[in-house]
Amino acid sequence: MSTADRIVITGVGLTSPIGDSLETLRANLLGGVAGISTIETRFMGEVFAGVCRYDERKYQKAKERRRGTRVGSIAIYCAGEAVARAGLDSGGLDLSRVGVYLGVTEHGTVETENEIDVIRQFDYDTKYWSHHHNPRTVANNPAGEVTLNMGITGPHYTLGAACAAGNAGLIQGVQMLRLGEVDVALSGGVSESIHSFGIFASFASQNALAVGGDPAQASRPFDKTRNGIVVSEGGCVFVLERLPDALRRDAGILAEVVGYGMNSDASDPVMPNTERQVQCIALALERAGIEPGDIDLVSTHATSTEVGDAREAAAIRQVFGDYHNVYVNNTKSFIGHAMGAAGALELAGNLGSFADQVVHPTINVRELDPECAIRNLVLNEPHRVEKVDFVLNNSFGMLGINSVVVVKRYVA
């Protein structure tokens, strides 16, 4: 691979239920702080949810926010933070050479539900349906809002990739940089899902929505008593650049994206497929040019569902079971399932391990499900390891879409 094909992360902007910066996210992951609360959702009453608290006005005017969407606001905040952290906010950036690639699980349900609620108050007279509905619900909305906000004239679009979307956004950025289509990619994933009752209702009908007990313990992947997903909102945007460009401007490099894989189960709309997950992980390792034993940390996708957690655990055992040095964790136990943002946020949460050599745990495991037994699954307390050079990040989604990213600690 030529140096120009090496892609590095030079900035991260995020908002999550446990922090609106890389530092606060990391501190809370190491401190065992879960961020789940209860919210009132239309027709359903109280549900568990991961809610983000960030400064909506930091990068966006009140009018822009009013006309746009919650997920657009999240995307703008994350993109603004990422660009600032990368040191690209002081001018000199050719905005025609910037691409915005954001993964989404779904888009438009929030806005459509809201409009139906509006016209319901007027006897379902569609005269009261907002003229903003179309620009709010076009599938490129969150990425488009970023370009409008920042004056970016390069390409933008979202990647609909269910819960594999956060990694998919990142991967798209890597590919576009390697193709020479852009010089800077704002890549990642975003979600406003908690503002849609439909997503809660559908998971509930599927018997896959977490219910009952302490909100902080509601999301508990791999625990025998887990009873479903906690839906969260969130966003995470990475600034990606080609290595020579980053070095030329003396940028701080957080990690190098060395491998990725995406594939499809082609087996079931909702049930994950261990064999395809294994193949996707293998593809990412192959592209990275490394062996399973080179990975130090596997960041799991596990969402706190019985079948999903067990099938991913089986995939991890199959690929990494022979290696004593590979540690495994989960971030959804802290922040819930941030849907389109999940893969990106979970990768971001683990980037700190390159510097501190600590693997944050999967929390809320009181009784490990034997089906989910994985060697070196870090339970409930952070674990210091000898080194973290490679992190592998899993992200899987409905309709059988799998995405895996491998990042490497950057050594100058």
Partner 1 sequence: MTHDQVKEIVLNIIKVVAPDADVSDLKGDVRLRDQLEMDSMDFLDIVMELRKRYKIEVPKEDYPRLASLDGCAEYLTPRLQGVAVS
Q: Are residues 155 and 99 in contact, defined by beta-carbon separation less than 8 angstroms?
A: yes
- Cβ closest to partner 1, residue 13 vs residue 68: 68
- Is 337 annotated as catalytic? yes
The answer to the question of residue 130 lying near partner 1 (CB under 8 A) is yes
Site size toward partner 1, by CB under 8 A: 11
**What is the Cα–Cα distance from 284 to 335, expressed in whole angstroms?**
26
Q: Which of 62, 179, 266, 412 binds partner 1 (CB under 8 A)?
A: 62
**Non-local CB neighbours of 40 within 8 Å, separated by 6+ positions:** 46
Phi-psi region of 317 (alpha: psi -120 to 50; beta: other; left: phi over 0): alpha
The stretch near partner 1 (CB under 8 A) out of 21-29, 130-138, 176-184, 291-299 is: 130-138
- Cβ closest to partner 1, residue 130 vs residue 325: 130
Q: Are residues 402 and 265 in contact, defined by beta-carbon separation less than 8 angstroms?
A: yes
**Non-local CB neighbours of 233 within 8 Å, separated by 6+ positions:** 17, 49, 50, 51, 52, 70, 71, 74, 191, 192, 193, 194, 195, 338, 339, 341
Q: Which of 1, 63, 370, 411 binds partner 1 (CB under 8 A)?
A: 63
Shortest distance, CB of residue 129 to partner 1, whole angstroms?
9
**Non-local CB neighbours of 280 within 8 Å, separated by 6+ positions:** 261, 262, 263, 402, 403, 404
Q: Which of 156, 195, 337, 360 is catalytic?
A: 337
- Cβ closest to partner 1, residue 39 vs residue 119: 119
Shortest distance, CB of residue 241 to partner 1, whole angstroms?
33
* CA-to-CA separations, 358 to 18, 90, 143, 339, in angstroms, rounded: 18, 34, 33, 25
Shortest distance, CB of residue 118 to partner 1, whole angstroms?
8
**What is the Cα–Cα distance from 116 to 100, expressed in whole angstroms?**
30
The answer to the question of residue 124 lying near partner 1 (CB under 8 A) is no
The stretch near partner 1 (CB under 8 A) out of 21-29, 124-132, 188-196, 203-211 is: 124-132
The answer to the question of residue 133 lying near partner 1 (CB under 8 A) is no
- Cβ closest to partner 1, residue 56 vs residue 294: 56
Determine whether 19 is exposed, middle or buried from the number of CB atoms within 10 Å of its CB (0-12, 13-18, 19+).
buried
Let me know how long the chain is: 412
Q: Which of 163, 236, 280, 372 is catalytic?
A: 163
Shortest distance, CB of residue 63 to partner 1, whole angstroms?
5
What's the angle, vertex CA 87, arms to CA 82 and CA 89, rounded to 5? 80
Nearest C-alpha neighbor of 128 from the set 136, 119, 137, 120: 119
- Cβ closest to partner 1, residue 24 vs residue 130: 130
Q: Which of 1, 90, 126, 127 binds partner 1 (CB under 8 A)?
A: 127
Q: Which of 132, 133, 178, 375 binds partner 1 (CB under 8 A)?
A: 132
Query: In a 3-state reduction of DSSP, which class is residue 208?
Result: coil
The stretch near partner 1 (CB under 8 A) out of 38-46, 100-108, 120-128, 212-220 is: 120-128
The answer to the question of residue 122 lying near partner 1 (CB under 8 A) is yes
Q: What is the dihedral of CA 80, 84, 86, 87, to 10 degrees?
A: 140
Shortest distance, CB of residue 62 to partner 1, whole angstroms?
4
The answer to the question of residue 384 lying near partner 1 (CB under 8 A) is no
**What is the Cα–Cα distance from 115 to 128, expressed in whole angstroms?**
8
- Cβ closest to partner 1, residue 61 vs residue 366: 61
Both tokens assigned to 110:
């929030």
Q: Which of 27, 56, 67, 178 binds partner 1 (CB under 8 A)?
A: 67
Number of Cβ within 10 Å of residue 53's Cβ equals: 12
Shortest distance, CB of residue 155 to partner 1, whole angstroms?
24
Q: Which of 107, 156, 301, 360 is catalytic?
A: 301
- Cβ closest to partner 1, residue 43 vs residue 128: 128
The stretch near partner 1 (CB under 8 A) out of 122-130, 182-190, 311-319, 373-381 is: 122-130
Which residues would be at the binding site for partner 1 (CB under 8 A)? Answer: 61-63, 66-67, 122, 127-128, 130-132
Residues with active-site annotation: 163, 301, 337
